[in-house]
Amino acid sequence: MARYCVVGAGLSGAVVARALGEAGHSVVVVDERARIGGNCATARDPATGIMEHLYGPHIFHTSDESVWAYVQRFCAMAPYAHRVQAVARGRVYALPVNLLTINQFFGMTMSPSEAQAFIRSKTRPCEAPRNFEEQALAMIGRELYEAFFEGYTRKQWGMSPTRLPASILKRLPLRFTYDDSYFAHRYQGMPKDGYSAMVASILDAPNVDLRLAQGFEALGEPFAHVFYSGPLDRYFDYRLGRLNYRTLDFEKFHAEGDYQGTAVLNYCDADTPFTRITEHKHFAPWEKDAFDRTICYRETSRACGPDDIPYYPIRLAEEQKLLRDYIALARATPGVSFMGRLGTYRYLDMDVTIGEALTASQRLLTMIAEGATP
């Protein structure tokens, strides 16, 4: 029987491995880390028992019915509604920018239509914003941009917002209501036992052979097809150059009681060196009161070096040619499918990652069924 290989035991890899294993194919899943879950891995902090998001906060949200149904096959999803507050110039505001943020920031009591007209008077219309700053000035105007986005974005991405794509800001809405939910998707939740338990349950499928703390390069076996979710440029030994990422540093600390009263507090001012503090027990509201102590991560972002963990693909305009060349190389490489955030060099939310992995595995299974060479 043909054997398949999945490189990476994160969300993409687990979903593909399960689909192939369930269809009766033998699959080797290899990951150089000693744990599963990729960057959404979770574990209970040994000192407190609090569920920790080891590589920073992950909140599951989707409007895709099939993806929502899929994850619920593998874990109980607890209700969770993500909210973010932001510290700017010594005050705390609600994000994303909504009617409360606008009224508090400008010291007014405007209605939705008044606020809309007011913000419109502050924006600079732009048909096709070419970068993050143009997008921000067209959407919210200079004052809100400078207070909430300019400093944070410089810290997060390490460069002027004028060099960054407008798409980064388009992730966030602007609301003229008091709705301060961070995500607008229909479904939102947190796996009750953490993401690692969810991924373990996906991987717990027939014919799946999981090998942790092992490099793909060392496998040395022939496979009918490889699903690769590692970094695209690394697969090709960086032969065309390196794609740029940001990496994150987390300074973990313990405190008594409740440190900040919420899961995520952003620090928007340029002179605060970190971008945000996350307090992990607030990601599990159903159990947070059981803990007298708390754990937090103070998060900073920097350029990703060769030995660092890649987090955010930067995708600068000047990188597009390099990316296109790598994609061409990937397309010309038979027997390998590139997938996931690192394999496709895109900043993917978890639901998109799962949806794409389901599609990729279905495509392969159809080809096998039709007798085509994958």
276 catalytically annotated: yes
Active site residue 246: yes
Q: Quick one: 348 or 358, whose CB is closer to ligand UDP?
A: 348
Which of 169/368 has CB closer to ligand UDP? 169
Residues between 216 and 235 with contacts to ligand UDP, criterion CB under 6 A: none
Q: Is 349 a catalytic residue?
A: yes
Tell me the angle at which helices 350-369 and 11-22 cross, rounded to the nearest 10 degrees. 30
Please report how close the Cβ of residue 104 comes to ligand UDP at its closest, in angstroms: 15
Nearer to ligand UDP, 45 or 150 (CB): 150
Give the nearer residue to ligand UDP in terms of CB position, either 86 or 199: 86
Examine residue 283 and tell whether it contacts ligand UDP (CB under 6 A). no
Under 8 Å between Cβ of 275 and 148 = no
Supply the minimum distance, in Å, between the C-beta of residue 5 and ligand UDP: 30
Q: By CB under 6 A, name the one of 55, 149, 227, 245 that touches ligand UDP.
A: 149
Q: Is position 67 an interface residue for ligand UDP (rule: CB under 6 A)?
A: no
- The DSSP element (H or E) to which 360 belongs, if any, is helix 350-369
Q: Provide the β-strand partners of residue 51.
A: 44
- Say how far apart CA 199 and CA 61 lie, in whole Å: 16
The count of chain residues that interact with ligand UDP, using the rule CB under 6 A, is 13
169 binds ligand UDP (CB under 6 A): yes
Task: Give the separation between CA 37 and CA 196, rounded to whole angstroms.
Answer: 5
Nearest distance from C-beta of residue 179 to ligand UDP, angstroms: 16
Pick from 12, 207, 266, 337: which binds ligand UDP (CB under 6 A)? 266
Q: E strands, the chain, where?
A: 3-7, 26-31, 42-44, 51-53, 60-62, 77-79, 84-88, 91-95, 187-191, 208-212, 225-228, 245-256, 264-267, 276-279, 293-303, 312-313, 336-338
- Binding string, residues 94-123; x marks residues near ligand UDP by CB under 6 A: -x----------------------------
End-to-end CA distance of the chain: 15
CA gap 43, 196 in Å, rounded: 7
Residue 112 is encoded by which pair of tokens? 């939705």
- Closer to ligand UDP at the Cβ: 25 or 58? 58
One-letter identity of residue 148: F
The residue annotated as part of the active site, out of 32, 258, 319, 349, is 349
| 156 lies in the binding site for ligand UDP (CB under 6 A) | yes
C-alpha separations of 269 from 119, 150, 240, 273, 276 in Å: 22, 8, 37, 8, 11
Q: Segment near ligand UDP (CB under 6 A), from 116-124, 165-173, 232-240, 328-336?
A: 165-173
Inter-residue contact 44 to 51 (CB < 8 Å): yes
- How far out from the chain centre does Cα 61 lie? 11
Q: Tell me which stretch binds ligand UDP (CB under 6 A): 30-38, 167-175, 202-210, 253-261.
A: 167-175
**Which CB atom, from 229 or from 266, has the smaller least distance to ligand UDP?**
266
The interface region with ligand UDP, picked from 144-152, 215-223, 327-335, 357-365 by CB under 6 A, is 144-152
Contact call for residue 172 and ligand UDP (CB under 6 A): yes
Q: In this chain, which of 62, 153, 337, 361 binds ligand UDP, going by CB under 6 A?
A: 153
* 136, 138, 139, 144: CA torsion to nearest 10: 60
SS3 341: helix
Cα–Cα distances in Å, from 328 out to 136, 225, 226, 336, 361?
33, 18, 17, 13, 21
Q: Can you tell me the distance from the alpha carbon of 251 to that of 273, in angstroms, rounded to the nearest whole number?
A: 12
The encoded tokens of residue 237 equal 């030994």
- Is 209 a known active-site residue? no
Residue 350 interacts with ligand UDP (CB under 6 A): yes or no = no
Residue 299 annotated to the active site: yes
Q: Which of 133, 152, 276, 341 is catalytic?
A: 276
Q: Indicate if 3 belongs to the active site.
A: no
Catalytic residue among 234, 246, 293, 346: 246
Residues that bind ligand UDP (CB under 6 A): 86, 95, 148-149, 152-153, 156, 168-169, 171-172, 266, 268
- Point out the residues that are catalytic: 171, 175, 246, 276, 299, 347, 349
